[in-house]
Amino acid sequence: MNITELTVHELQQKLKSKELTIPDIVRAYIDRINEKEKDVQAFVTTLTDEANKQAKDIEEKVSKGEINGEFAGIPIGIKDNMCTKGVKTTCSSKMLENFIAPYDATVVEKLNDENIINLGKLNMDEFAMGGSTEYSYFKKTRNPWNLNKVPGGSSGGSAAAVAAGMVPWALGSDTGGSIRQPASFCGVVGLKPTYGLVSRYGLVAFASSLDQIGPITKDVYDSSLLLNLIAGQDEKDTTSSDREKVDYTKCLKNDVKGLKIGVPKEFFAEGINEEVKASLEKAITTYKKLGAEIEEFSLDVANYSLATYYIIACAEASSNLGRFDGIRYGYRAKDAKSLKEIFKKSRSEGFGTEVKRRIILGTYVLSSGYYDAYYKKAQQVRTLVMKQFEKAFEKYDIIVTPTSPTVAFDIGSKTSNPLEMYLSDICTVSVNIAGLPAISIPCGVDSQGMPIGMQLIGNKFCEETILNAAYTLEQKIKFRENYQPTFKGGAN
Ligand code: GLN
Per the annotation, the verdict on 395 as an active-site residue is: no
| Per-chain mean pLDDT for the chain | 97
Residue of 178, 224, 279, 440 marked catalytic: 178
Q: Measure 132 CA to ligand 1 centroid, in angstroms.
A: 9
pLDDT(492) > 80: no
Q: What is the pLDDT of residue 329?
A: 87
Contacts of 289 (CB under 8 A, 6+ apart): none
What pLDDT, in 10s, does the model give residues 300-354?
999 999 999 999 999 999 999 999 999 998 999 999 999 999 999 999 999 999 9
- Number of the ligand 1 atom closest to the C-alpha atom of 175: 8
**CA separation for the pair 60, 303 (Å, rounded):** 56
Contacts of 34 (CB under 8 A, 6+ apart): 48
- Taking residues 434-450, report their average pLDDT: 98
pLDDT(24) > 70: yes
User: What pairing do the DSSP bridges indicate for beta strands 260-264 and 189-192?
Assistant: unpaired
What pLDDT, in 10s, does the model give residues 143-165?
999 999 999 999 999 999 999 99
**Which residue type sits at 392?**
A
| pLDDT-based confidence at residue 222 (cuts at 50, 70, 90) | very high
Contacts of 49 (CB under 8 A, 6+ apart): none
* Percentage with pLDDT > 70 across the chain: 100
Considering only CA atoms, which of 69, 93, 88, 70 is closest in space to residue 78?
Answer: 88
pLDDT(450) > 90: yes
Sign, CA torsion 332/83/221/51: positive
The answer to whether the CB of 209 falls within 8 A of the CB of 315 is: no
Q: Measure 6 CA to ligand 1 centroid, in angstroms.
A: 30
Q: What is the pLDDT of residue 178?
A: 98
What pLDDT, in 10s, does the model give residues 368-417?
999 999 999 999 999 999 999 999 999 999 999 999 999 999 999 999 99
The answer to whether the CB of 28 falls within 8 A of the CB of 167 is: no
In eight-state DSSP terms, residue 294 is: E
Q: Measure 463 CA to ligand 1 centroid, in angstroms.
A: 21
Q: Measure 178 CA to ligand 1 centroid, in angstroms.
A: 5
The alpha carbon of residue 139 and the mean position of all alpha carbons in its chain are separated, in whole angstroms, by 18
**CA separation for the pair 286, 34 (Å, rounded):** 40
Per the annotation, the verdict on 173 as an active-site residue is: no
Per the annotation, the verdict on 79 as an active-site residue is: yes
Residue of 92, 132, 136, 154 marked catalytic: 154
**CA separation for the pair 177, 251 (Å, rounded):** 24
The count of residues in the chain is 492
Closest C-alpha to ligand 1, atom 10: 129
Ligand 1: residue of 80, 125, 171, 216 to mutate (most ligand atoms within 8 A of CB) is 125
Task: Answer whether the bond into residue 154 is a cis peptide, omega within 30°.
Answer: yes
**pTM, whole model, 2 decimals?**
0.98
| pLDDT-based confidence at residue 491 (cuts at 50, 70, 90) | low
| pLDDT-based confidence at residue 69 (cuts at 50, 70, 90) | confident
Q: What is the pLDDT of residue 272?
A: 94
Q: Which residues have CB under 6 Å of ligand 1?
A: 128-131, 154, 174-178, 206, 313, 425
Q: Measure 141 CA to ligand 1 centroid, in angstroms.
A: 16
